[in-house]
Amino acid sequence: MKNTTPLLPGFHLQTLRRRPLSASQKLAAKQKRIRDKSISQLGDCFGSFIPSSELDRAPTGTFSRRRLFSKENTFWGFFSQVLDADSGCKEVVSKFQAFAAAKDITAPSSSTAAYCNARSKLELTSLENILRHTTHDLQQHENAGRWKDRRVVVVDGTGLSAPDTVDNQHIWPQHGLQKTGCGFPQLRLCACFCLQTGTLLSHRIGNRKNHELPLLRQQWETFKSGDIFLGDKAFCSYYDIAKFKDQGVDSVITLAYRKPVESSKAIKVLGKNDLLIKWPKPRWNKILSYTREEWLALPDEITLRQIKVTVNTPGFRVKEFYIVTTLTDANRYSAEELAELYYQRWDVELFFRDIKTTLGMDILRCKSPNMVRKEIIMHFIVYNCIRRLMLEAAVQQKISPRRISVKGSIQALRQWQPLLNKADLTPPERRRLVTLLYETIAKSTLCERPGRSEPRCVKRRPKPFRLLTAPRYVLRETSLRDKHGGKRA
């Protein structure tokens, strides 16, 4: 018999006997509906490491409407673009198309215009806040493995290349010896890393004419009282050593621009090749990188420790060098320990290699200065996220995070990501997979090869193409004239 029971507004016959949903159940259902329309499952690998407040939908204006290229989806698409081996916009659009097909959503166009437009709407300040959050989060786990219970901040600079556009050339000009249209914009990057965990703490961007010292001075707020500043000879500066000392930060750097002090002129001989010395304040001249007022505020002299380090390893270019430091307590900081600490400074070169080579930041792709800055910050966000996974895996497996390979961790994450992205995973199953991921990452250890020396040369020969010595359009016209017997087609 056909049911003729009238249905009142707001009621459904099949749900009359069901219990009403609780507030938590309604919230969980709403989150599931949002999750089903989001491509942000990659964030499950990092939990609360990325602040969700920075990716929330805006009430009005940009990213206020819930679309496929929302702020959250665009951020994670940009994130996966850095993490993927191809690192192309086309691959991200294909990923969105596959996601839309799986969720029965209208697939976006194969053109990258919509994604690139959404990516350009990501605010630079929002990305900087996310990077700052990842830095602060990692600093909460830096206590393990500190040197003498102190954080060591290692600083260095490197160069980057950007696409050859007018706007990029205006801010980051190419080398002066190159002809117009034959070079690429050159960026100067100075960054501070935590030596224990490899965390990127801060960075500043300049052009090739900017020295690393002024870029470092823009990052003084990164250092805290009790830190140790570790740098090479480019940072050997009376002004910066004195300023760091006033801030409660000790310095360990290579001697440069000054002659080593002889033992006869030292305040005290602390040991073999270990002297307690004094540096007088340099004379004022206009070529100094600080003002006369700042020079007058400097102390007349500072007490330092000078250590001569002899390199006995075959194959090293340097046979001996000098270290100057404000760590003058020879009982607590022996000369051998300081020499070993400076030897670890080479890790900053490996940090840059992980970012530039493994993550592909050496040659940037964005064509506007604003997007170049976003691209650099996004690489740093991904790098810190990988470092977080490595740190958690190291703590779980009780090994040093410095022994884990960044490239091996990225490869493991790429392969485990599809498993972690399944929507039907139960919490126990997800925890089991994450534990196995940590075990896989912890097994990707680097071989310890102390004293390893390799010649600085390459075996692979480049392609036999001639160098671009004139703008491409000029060579194109020349080629056409030669092809048609001196006449243009």
Q: Give the pTM.
A: 0.87
CA 299 vs. chain centroid, Å, equals 36
Residue that has been written with the tokens 């194109």 in this structure: 476
Cβ–Cβ under 8 Å, residues 254 and 233: yes
More confident position, 142 or 95: 95
Q: Within this chain, do residues 229 and 103 fall inside the same structural domain, yes or no?
A: no
Residue 27 resides in a domain: no
Query: Residue 8 — very low, low, confident or very high, per pLDDT cuts 50/70/90?
Result: very low
Q: Within this chain, do residues 199 and 313 fall inside the same structural domain, yes or no?
A: yes
Longest CA–CA separation in the chain, Å: 114
**Residue 191: other Cβ atoms inside 10 A:** 25
Q: Within this chain, do residues 65 and 143 fall inside the same structural domain, yes or no?
A: no
Last residue of a domain, one of 84, 100, 122: 122
Q: Within this chain, do residues 83 and 134 fall inside the same structural domain, yes or no?
A: no
d(CA 338, CA 340): 5
Q: How high is the mean pLDDT of the chain?
A: 85
Structure tokens at 442: 């912890």
pLDDT at position 5 is 38
The pLDDT of residue 148 is above 80: yes
Q: Within this chain, do residues 149 and 295 fall inside the same structural domain, yes or no?
A: yes
pLDDT digits (tens, 9 = 90+) for 421-470: 666 778 788 788 888 888 899 988 887 777 677 777 888 888 888 888 88
CATH number of the domain bearing residue 283: 3.90.350.10
Residue range 8-32: mean pLDDT, rounded: 53
Residue 487 resides in a domain: no
Q: Within this chain, do residues 304 and 174 fall inside the same structural domain, yes or no?
A: yes
Residue 209 resides in a domain: yes
Last residue of a domain, one of 323, 358, 393: 358
Q: Within this chain, do residues 113 and 231 fall inside the same structural domain, yes or no?
A: no
Q: Within this chain, do residues 200 and 324 fall inside the same structural domain, yes or no?
A: yes
Residue range 350-356: mean pLDDT, rounded: 94
**Residue 31: other Cβ atoms inside 10 A:** 11
Q: Within this chain, do residues 351 and 283 fall inside the same structural domain, yes or no?
A: yes
The pLDDT of residue 489 is above 50: no
The count of structural domains within the chain is: 3
Q: Within this chain, do residues 376 and 437 fall inside the same structural domain, yes or no?
A: yes
pLDDT at position 36 is 46
Q: Within this chain, do residues 202 and 63 fall inside the same structural domain, yes or no?
A: no
pLDDT at position 402 is 83
| Nearest CA among 215, 252, 248 for reference residue 230 | 252
Give the end-to-end CA distance of the chain in Å, rounded to a whole number.
Answer: 86
Q: Within this chain, do residues 65 and 141 fall inside the same structural domain, yes or no?
A: no
The pLDDT of residue 213 is above 50: yes
Domain region containing 101 = 37-122
> Which one-letter amino acid corresponds to residue 129?
N
